[in-house]
Amino acid sequence: IMVISTLPIPRQVSDSEDKIGSSDPDTMDQMLDLESGTIHEWNKPAPGMWRFPTNPNFCCIYRVPNSMRQMSPEAYTPQLILIGPLHHSLKSLALKSRGNIRRTKLMGYLNMEEHKKIYVEKFAERVEGGKTIEGFRRMIEEDEELIRASYSESTAWIESQEFVEMILHDSVFILELILRFFGTGGTEKIGDHLMDSPCLEITIKRDLIMLENQLPYFILEKLFDPVVKILNPNQTLRQLVINYVLNMDKTKIGDHTKFRHFTDLVRCVRVESAGVETFPDYGYEDFQPMYIMHNAHKLDKGGVKKSFR
C-alpha cells in the first residue's frame, strides 16, 4: 500500500494568531492579495535568492558569506554608491526614508541616484546626445542574459526594463566619474560634489571595488572602448580604469591579464605583484576547513570544561 504524506502548510507571518495559509486550490489565486509569508509569496522572485544553476563561464560576482559579514557589516556595505543588482533593493528602502535626515546613509544613496542621472546627461553632451545613449541601451538589452549570469544570486526579481536602465545608469556613471576625475586634476572646483570634495574620493573608490557592488567588466568594455578612443586618444579604457581604481600610472598588471570586474582587478594586481604565477593544485583531501575560534567566556557558557596543567 502506498502511503502519501503531505507536509503541513507553514503559517502566515501575521499579527493575528487566527490567520493560517490555505492550500485549497480555489483560494490559491487569492494569495496575491494576502500579506507576505504565504506559499505564493515564497515562490515569488526575491532579493538574495541563489541562482540555480549558475553558469561557471560567467558567474563571478558574489555576496560575501554571512560569517564574514557578521564580524564587520559596515565593511561589506556600500557607504555611498550602489552599483549593480545585489544592493539594488536598498534603493527602495532609501526612497521610503526620503526626507529623514537622520538616515544619512540612505540619504546618501538617494543623492547618488540623482547624481547618476546628471552624469548620464553630462556624458550625453560629450557624445552624440541621446543617440549614443540609446545605442548603449540596445547593447545592454542584447547582453542582458549574460550580465544577469555574472551574478551568483538570481536577479529575476528585477524586471527587464528596470534591469537594463540600472546597468545603463551605473555604467555611464562610472565612466563619467573617471573622465571627470582625470579631467579636473583635482585642483579646480567645478560645482560637482564628487569632484569638489576630496574626502569623498576614498569613499567612492572603496565602494567601487567592493565585491557585491560590481558590474561585469565585459559590458563596460563593450560599451565604452570605442568611445574612449575618441574622447581620450591618449589612454584606453583599460588604462583609465586601472589608473583610477589603483591610483597608479605604472602598474604591475600584465597587458594581457584579463579581469572580470574591479574587485578582480585589485586581486590580479596583488597576485602579480607577489610574483605568483599559478596556484598550487590542492586536492580535496588536503583541504583543511577553517573554524571560528570562540573566546574562553563563550566556551565556558557552552559547557566546555577547562583544565590547566
* Per-residue pLDDT, 124: 95
Residue 161 lies in a domain: yes
pLDDT at 150: 97
Q: What is the pLDDT of residue 270?
A: 85
- Tell me the helices (H) and strands (E) count for the chain, helix number first: 14, 0
Instruction: List, as own/partner pairs, every contact residues 280-288 make where C-beta atoms lie below 8 angstroms and the sequence separation is at least 24, other chains included.
Output: none
Return the pLDDT at 126: 92
38 within domain boundaries: no
146: domain range?
Answer: 66-251
What does the DSSP 8-state code read for residue 35?
A: P
- Quick count: other Cβ atoms within 10 Å of Cβ 31? 17
Provide the pLDDT for residue 309. Answer: 53
Classify residue 129: in a domain, yes or no: yes
**pLDDT tens track for 146-197:** 999 999 999 999 999 999 999 999 999 999 999 999 886 656 788 898 998 8
Residue with cell 598550487: 280
Q: What does the pLDDT read at residue 249?
A: 52
Please indicate, yes or no, if residue 108 is contained in any of the structural domains. Answer: yes
Cis bond before residue 53 (omega within 30° of 0): yes
Q: Provide the whole-model pTM.
A: 0.75
In a domain, 144, yes or no: yes
Q: Residue 37, SS3?
A: coil
- Chain centroid offset of residue 69 CA: 15
- Per the domain annotation, does 57 fall within a domain? no
Residue 39: predicted pLDDT: 55
User: What per-residue confidence (pLDDT) applies to 247?
Assistant: 79
Please report the pLDDT score of residue 23 as a whole number: 40
Give a yes or no: residue 231 inside a domain. yes
> How many domains are contained in the chain?
1
Q: In the chain, which stretches have pLDDT less than 70?
A: 1-43, 184-187, 248-252, 275-295, 297-299, 301-309
CB neighbour burial string for 231-244, b if at least 16 within 10 angstroms, e if fewer: bbeeeebbebbbbb
Any domain includes 292: no
